[in-house]
Amino acid sequence: MASVPFDDRDGVIWFDGKFVDWRDAKVHVLTHGLHYASAVFEGERAYGGEIFKLKEHTDRLIESGRILGFEIPYSAEVINEASRETLKRMNLVDGYIRPIAWRGSEMMGVSAQNNTIHLAIAAWAWPSYFNPEERLKGIRLDIAEYRRPDPKTAPSRSKAAGLYMICTISKHAAEAKGYADALMYDYRGYVAEATGANVFFVKDGELHTPTPDCFLNGITRQTVVDLARRAGIKVVERHIMPEELSTFTECFICGTAAEVTPVAEIGPHSYKPAAITKTLLDAYMAEVQPKASAQAAE
């Protein structure tokens, strides 16, 4: 059965300060954000009616806009409340929330200082990013052709729409070959991340993860690092060379959409999800859920 297109659904979307019918949340074809990628966004999940780390996501959204040279015309408090209300009006307890801010249509060209900055927030039901059965046994990753760019050539600290173009290309190429996703290297040739998630490896009981100096230090990534340290697992953040991929025993990726997802293969390299991956998968799912559960019990 085909999925319902995202422009033809029931519900409402918060759009520039008010709720509009889902199908009426439209922008003009000459919107600067469409032509020049002057847009930033967030991906958030709600568990038990509570949006996990909403403050951190909203703060990053505002900072992403600032990095792209524009100010979102709403405070963090307004954005947080609008996000919660959107979730509520969509009758979602567990769901995905997507705020996006972009430059409008007043000027069409590279220069667009006078364009209105718009903000919209949508929410919908979204299960695990990967097939549940495939996720538990570990997904397969291809190795992407494109690389994460030098921070001097792209605003890598911003969750900017344009930075995901090479991710879409890479994920499509991987899926065409039967993989679930792709691992990207960076401009120096170091291991970087998957197309929409950070990556972790296990070696000799320690957790190794690439230093996020040219890609996002994901909010889920920061959560996993904290959970690992709380569990007494040593975390080593460093540059990882591709030739090291064969030396690790476990691998997983993490992100708001991916949550914690074990990896069984990266190109010719094989891994077996084991104790550390399972510990952190379970710890993450417990971390995102208990606050809502405790509130419901009160």
What kind of architecture, by CATH, is found in domain 12-124? 2-Layer Sandwich (3.30)
Name the H helices within 68-144: 76-89, 132-137
Q: What local confidence, expressed as pLDDT, does residue 293 receive?
A: 45
Q: What local confidence, expressed as pLDDT, does residue 298 receive?
A: 43
159 is a catalytic site residue: yes
pLDDT (tens, 9 = 90+) of the chain, 298 residues, equals: 358 899 999 999 999 999 999 999 999 999 999 999 999 999 999 999 999 999 999 999 999 999 999 999 999 999 999 999 999 999 999 999 999 999 999 999 999 999 999 999 999 998 776 665 666 789 999 999 999 999 999 999 999 999 999 999 999 999 999 999 999 999 999 999 999 999 999 999 999 999 999 999 999 999 999 999 999 999 999 999 999 999 999 999 999 999 999 999 999 999 999 999 999 999 999 999 855 444 444 4
pTM of the model: 0.92
Q: Does domain 132-288 have CATH number 1.10.150.120?
A: no
Give the closest residue to 101 by CA, choosing from 119, 77, 87: 119
Per-domain boundaries in the chain? 12-124, 132-288
Q: What local confidence, expressed as pLDDT, does residue 132 receive?
A: 58
Q: How many Cβ atoms sit within 10 Å of the Cβ of residue 262?
A: 23
How many whole angstroms separate alpha carbon 4 and alpha carbon 197? 25
Q: Which of 26, 88, 159, 272 is catalytic?
A: 159
